Amino acid sequence: MNILDKITSDKYKEVALRKQLIPTRQLEQSVLFQRATVSLSNKLKNSNTGIIAEHKRRSPSKSIINNNLDVFEVAKGYENAGVCGMSVLTDGKYFGGSLDDLLHARASINLPILRKEFIIDEYQILEAKAYGADVILLIAAILNKNELKSFSEFAKRLKLDVLLEVHNEEELHKSLLSSVDMLGVNNRNLKTFDVSLDTSKALSKLIPDDFVKVSESGISNITAIKELKDYGYQGFLIGENFMKTDNPGESAKIFIHNLDN
């Protein structure tokens, strides 16, 4: 069993437990559930930089990245740096995140926030809305086409943007859905954790222009972004590059300044 299979298997158990603890009615009655969402895809379309900055404490591939930072401060730093949006990892077991991280980020910024999670149930989409997210992530590697369609349509009914992540051509073909706003190409092979920007470059020509193209993982320098822009990418998800520093917001600010110049 590879790491993605392990994460998904654990996620089914986790979500079953959460559904017992907090009924959907309670999620739907939360204050943030009524909040008007902000579109990340629109922000990316109108941005010169397209940076989506991530809050990530650790990962299965890198172990601990940074456990010492306050989400509230990281979020404020990212907003001040001029990023387009923020990604917040909410998986606890493998990434050290939580839904509280999402709440704290929401309380500190007005930027669109992506709930970065391994979504296998509509319940998690309700959670995303209830805890203040504007965008959800769907991962083609762990969902079939019917699930991708059902979950993305459900998210759109909740006025949430949908970022659908693929790793290869086979996953891409089942992901070209009208209920998807952004197609993300993950440059990290989730089975081996090897990273290559060639994945984004190869798949770019297969993604119709109806979708905002987002490149994810392994983006650590200006050159990579400039290269990827030539392939039609408008969004760039960056996590470890900022989070491994003592001040992610300042790191993002310098990165964006250099990108603009």
- Please give the Cα distance from 143 to 154 (Å, whole number): 15
Q: Is 116 a catalytic residue?
A: yes
Residue 217 DSSP code: S
Find tokens 């456990």 and name the residue.
67
- Choosing from 186, 187, 215, 251, the catalytic residue is 186
Beta strands of the chain (E only): which ranges?
51-55, 58-59, 63-64, 85-89, 113-116, 135-139, 161-166, 182-186, 212-216, 233-238
Q: Is 59 a catalytic residue?
A: no
Taking the CA atoms of 54, 60, 65 and 68 in sequence, report the sign of the dihedral they define: positive
- Please give the Cα distance from 227 to 139 (Å, whole number): 25
- Choosing from 14, 54, 79, 240, the catalytic residue is 54
Instruction: Kindly report the backbone phi and psi dihedral angles of residue 61, in degrees, each rounded to the nearest multiple of 5, phi listed first.
Output: -85, -30
Q: Is 28 a catalytic residue?
A: no
Q: Is 186 a catalytic residue?
A: yes
Q: Is 56 a catalytic residue?
A: yes
- Choosing from 79, 165, 171, 240, the catalytic residue is 165
- Choosing from 43, 116, 129, 253, the catalytic residue is 116
The per-type count for the chain, helices as H runs and strands as E runs, is 12, 10
Q: Is 165 a catalytic residue?
A: yes
**Residues with active-site annotation:** 54, 56, 116, 165, 186, 216-217
